[in-house]
A and B are shown apart, each in its own frame.
Chain A
């Protein structure tokens, strides 16, 4: 098995405020890792450091063996291999659904316009939006927008995907569609890191669950270990709160 992502003693400070305190984390090829924990724990920060959207204060982040925290790394090249899906979709409102999906591969010269159109349509079809190809993003529902965002990332043929609370901004009836698409991706063997509050999804789909609090990994293990036999006290109280809600 090859290691896709490896974080070694990663620290992130905002001024004097340390928000990530020495995180070590490995994600193997084809693995699905769920990151859970209370708000403000540092989950998004860690996820965003994996594709260089946040800089690191110290430590190493290896993506396919390349330390992206080092200067002179072609971060754009690394990012092209990592898909990212945001809580608020971040679709480009100035272009159509197909335009959103085909922008990066054509701009980066990976595909011709025709190839990108074909591939984009295929990806939109795979997320169940074949009929929305020419729609403008503003006319879509939240669930549709998020599926377009996933298709946009997939058209780049990434080796791994990062999700930052992809269903948190959705109406409850839309959540299922998006989780369905993600479940399918996981089955196809995509390497995925998912920050989520959907404990059911984590339990069912993740190979490993990582619990964050206070900028540190408090506990990590299989869904069975983390959800059924939590050892860490903070994890226990977190799960209690989440299950009560």
Chain B
């Protein structure tokens, strides 16, 4: 028996090791320099986007780094969705959000804002070769906007007057594609964003409408960090004065000439758009994403299996309370959609407990609870499937319940459970893709970001799908090999 506990101990230690390695990523922080985490959108060119080397670039990124340098603090940037960023700031998971965010009275109630760093406004864009160009032509049509943006507010404020309906998307890319495909007649978007997108070859053009809702972009900061607002404002002043601000804006929006904008666009696009060309140029990013997926999977499986077995055993202990706990655990965490659970843990729980939960840890907790509940259910079921006569025979020999369970029932139950375990491992691997909602740069999120840049949805998703299939095949082989060892 001692031998078995030794193995379990080793597994736990290993798991905790990987876990803590993630939590306490050693970062050489200069003692005097404080590091702030700033959340950003993934797709909001020219403010933030990935260049052709999948390096994240943009006005926001260069500007905050320049400000940080001027004021002597450090920033850690985190790419998520606009909504995700806002929620994370509300949950104090990050210190600030810089995502081309307009300063509005509503947002000012919740967040502190820096001084404005860019003036924008809402414009309309329509299909390049379509015949709709004016607001008055939108009656009865559909208009695409991005969730929670000033453009969406504007669209909603005039939709009665012009008689159109709105559809919302989480990513700019989806907004544009909806117009290009003709599903929506137009979209509303921040002017610099739209200009940049059109100039880099998107099949849209500006509609015939004056810039509306002139508004200022600001950096949203947690109200608990007034010092950060001060630093940002001071840094912004310095950067403006030194001329660095203008350099940054020009770097992305150019001097206004077509030739210059085209040049910028070329820098962001992949050199080859064939399948293998794209594979080659995005290999690094995809492999990094795969690495994160594999890490999430292994640690997730480890903890989910551990918790699942413990809860499953609790469910067969001849004790009403223990069984009740197990049943409730299974009921709740098997019943909750994985995405809801992930968001609850990542952006809900920190509001109550008051500390940040790193995305990786939140992801592992999510997998542990959800996959653990499924595991517990089949562990409980597997034990229940062992003939009751086995327990009776063991007990009638004088063996206590725990010994009978360990020596007689569990070995038989485990054999019944092996296929379920293999199945659950594969499901866990696939479910890690849902954790992309937390902004984790795993394989799916990596795919989203690459596509946001190069619009090659078909080819990139094919690559992502193939990678998943390859590792699922490997995992299945490994599991079958283990199964043969166990059942031999």
Residues of chain A touching chain B, judged by Cβ–Cβ distance below 8 Å, are 51, 53, 76-77, 79-84, 86, 88, 90-94, 103-104, 107-108, 149, 152-153, 156
Contact = CB atoms under 8 A, between A and B. Distances in A.
Nearest to A79: B398
30 contacts: A53-B392, A53-B396, A76-B398, A76-B399, A76-B400, A79-B398, A80-B397, A82-B396, A84-B393, A84-B396, A86-B392, A90-B390, A90-B392, A92-B390, A92-B393, A93-B412, A94-B408, A94-B415, A103-B397, A103-B399, A103-B407, A104-B394, A104-B397, A104-B398, A107-B399, A107-B407, A108-B399, A149-B393, A152-B397, A156-B398
Contact of A90 (B387, B400, B411, B415): B387
Contacts of B389: 86, 88, 90
Q: Across the A-B interface, give the 3 residue pairs with the lowest CB-CB distance, nearest first.
A: A80-B398, A90-B393, A104-B397
A75 B218 CA distance: 74
State the main secondary structure of chain B at its contact with A.
helix
Given A92-B393, A103-B394, 12 more contacts: A76-B398, A79-B395, A81-B398, A82-B396, A84-B393, A91-B393, A92-B390, A92-B394, A104-B398, A107-B399, A156-B397, A156-B398
Nearest to A107: B403
Contacts of A108: 398-399
Interface residues of B, number: 18
Contacts of A53: 392, 395-396
A150 to B, nearest CB: 12
A53 B404 CA distance: 14
B395 A94 contact: no
A156 to B, nearest CB: 6
B162 to A, nearest CB: 71
A79 B411 CA distance: 23
Given A86-B392, A92-B390, A79 B408 contact: no
Contacts of B411: 94
Contacts of B408: 92, 94, 103
Contacts, number: 60
Interface string B401-442: 001000110011001000000000000000000000000000
A107 B396 CA distance: 14
Contacts of A77: 398
A94 B407 CA distance: 9
Contacts of B393: 84, 86, 90-92, 149
Nearest to A93: B412
B390 A79 contact: no
Nearest to A91: B393
Contacts of A152: 397
A48 B407 CA distance: 23
A94 to B, nearest CB: 4
B256 to A, nearest CB: 79
B110 to A, nearest CB: 59
A152 B389 CA distance: 15
A91 B352 CA distance: 54
Nearest to A53: B392
Scoring B390, B392, B396, B415 by chain A CB atoms within 10 A of each residue's CB, the highest score goes to B396
Contacts of A104: 394, 397-399
Contacts of B394: 92, 103-104
Contacts of B398: 76-77, 79-81, 104, 108, 156
Interface centre among A90, A91, A156 (most CB of B within 10 A): A90
Nearest to B408: A92
A149 B408 CA distance: 15
A76 B400 CA distance: 6
Contacts of B400: 76
A168 to B, nearest CB: 14
Contacts of A153: 397
Nearest to A51: B396
Nearest to A87: B389
A81 B390 CA distance: 19
B412 A94 contact: yes
B351 to A, nearest CB: 48
Nearest to A80: B398
A53 B397 CA distance: 11
A171 B393 CA distance: 22
B410 to A, nearest CB: 9
A45 B412 CA distance: 27
Contacts of B399: 76, 103-104, 107-108
Contacts of B397: 79-80, 84, 103-104, 152-153, 156
A94 B406 CA distance: 12
A76 B399 CA distance: 6
**Which of A79, A107, A108, A156 counts the most B-chain CB atoms under 10 A from its CB?**
A107
A149 B397 CA distance: 11
Contacts of A82: 396
Contacts of A156: 397-398
Q: Identify which of B389, B398, B400, B415 gathers the most chain A CB atoms within 10 Å of its CB.
A: B398
A34 to B, nearest CB: 20
A76 B398 CA distance: 4
A1 B96 CA distance: 89
B402 to A, nearest CB: 10
A153 B396 CA distance: 9
